Structure 1
């Protein structure tokens, strides 16, 4: 029997969600993970991605998380995100510019480019653009 459990989506600045849900879909460093009620305990790092959940009332919701951690416990799941935003808060032009800058850095192969940082910036920008695109569907 599935049931409901508490989800909290937190950043250092705010709480984006705190309430009962049926399912959470997140992307960890090991791949996508689906969380239902009574899931086994898990603590895993998250990569920049669109985090989805369905509330206990059947409403589908999403935020873009810029990495962080997912902690699944017996009664609640907590997403501790470095930063997160709802798709409607994303400035598409700014996200496209960030993606372009990151790609230019990676393609330059310049010795002063911090490749890991540029790859992280690219992943964040692409996650933000994916979320904005989902609003248009």
Structure 2
């Protein structure tokens, strides 16, 4: 059995193919989706999207919030923005994380601190995506 996965943003189609399973970050935690999953509509949180292809290879993408609909072996994710893990430069991601950590420690005022913490969370998610080691089959 397989799933049809569509990941769409306002700018482009990130993913459109058949997959074996996904692991999705939602506002209530991560969920795994296999064929014949119960129908669900859920908010998507900032976080990694793990995609298991039909050849058992795992890929990672990063979603920057959105909405997912899972029904009849079809997964449609409408995201505000997304990046494929393969498009993220590991060195640049690590450098952005270090800058974000420094910005949190020197933030002044509530607004600046909130913005710095969001940037730090995004940076951590990007580093996690490029450093993720898929499970062995």
TM-score, scaled to structure 1: 0.81
Report the alpha carbon displacement of residue 109 of structure 1 after superposing the two structures with TM: 5.1
TM-superposition CA deviations, 1:96-124 (whole Å, max 9, x none): 34323432343235215344433222121
The equivalent of 1:67 in structure 2 is 65
CA distance in 2, matches of 1:82, 1:119: 19
TM-score, scaled to structure 2: 0.81
The equivalent of 2:104 in structure 1 is 106
CA distance in 2, matches of 1:121, 1:87: 18
Structure 1 residues 58-67 or 33-42, which shifts more? 58-67
SS of equivalent to 2:59: strand
CA distance in 1, matches of 2:65, 2:118: 9
Q: Pick from 10, 22, 25 the counterpart of residue 24 of structure 1.
A: 22
Q: Pick from 77, 80, 85 the counterpart of residue 79 of structure 1.
A: 77
Specify every segment of 5 or more residues in structure 1 that has no aligned partner in the other structure, as ranges: none
Change (3 A) 1:115 1:40: farther
Count of paired positions:
133
> Could you say what the CA RMSD is over the residues aligned between the two structures, in angstroms?
2.1
CA distance in 2, matches of 1:72, 1:28: 13
